[in-house]
Amino acid sequence: MTRSLLFFFACVCLINCASAQTACPAGVAPGSPQCGPDSGTSRGDIPAPAPRPTGEWIKTWGTIAGSNATGETGAVVGKLTREEAESAALRLCREGGATDCKVNLVFKNQCAALVATANKSFFQSAESDSIALRLARSDCDKYDGGDCKVIYSGCSDPIFKKY
């Protein structure tokens, strides 16, 4: 009976000792540089909160403008306002000599593509340059069936502003 009791107390002591282990090698005091990283739960620490953002993403605008009479095109990306994007694209179109420039496509934080034949132009915007091009080419093939040529493709990517 005493042997059983002695065995029981020895097991209880070993279990308690095992739960008090740290990430330190035998014979090294906790907190020493030789100790490994500790999860913090053995000391009752609360895990560190997630890092706070150090800035913000600012969405940008893009525009494609064109002339029906001359085929001239003006395209811009990365503008902070819709008005700024439209104005810049119209200005680029007019700089090519066209007088009847109009806005054909406005997009925000996306990519855009312009595909054209001798008779017609096709505009598309999408989340990536390749998707916008694929959609514009598909429209061109479907509705015109002519020799579709890529005139423009570009993306209006967001700008990261640090605090």
Q: Quick check: is 6 in a domain?
A: no
Query: Which pLDDT tens digits describe the chain residue by residue (163 residues)?
Result: 566 555 555 555 555 554 445 567 777 777 777 777 665 555 556 778 888 878 999 999 999 999 999 989 999 999 999 999 999 999 999 999 999 999 999 999 999 999 999 889 999 999 999 999 999 999 999 987 778 999 999 999 999 999 8
Could you report the per-residue pLDDT of 105-132, keeping only the tens digit for each? 999 999 999 999 988 999 999 999 999 9
Q: Quick check: is 140 in a domain?
A: yes
Q: Quick check: is 98 in a domain?
A: yes
Of the candidates 7, 4, 39, which has an alpha carbon nearest to the alpha carbon of residue 21?
A: 39
Tokens of residue 144, six digits? 């015109």
The model scores a pTM over 0.85: no
In the block, tokens 């959609």 appear at 135
Tokens of residue 15, six digits? 């279990």
Split into its structural domains, the chain has a count of 1
Of the candidates 160, 162, 124, 161, which has an alpha carbon nearest to the alpha carbon of residue 142?
A: 124
Quick check: 137 and 148 in contact, CB under 8 A? Answer: yes
Helix (H) or strand (E) holding 141: helix 129-143
Q: Quick check: is 38 in a domain?
A: no
**Residue 147 domain boundaries:** 56-162
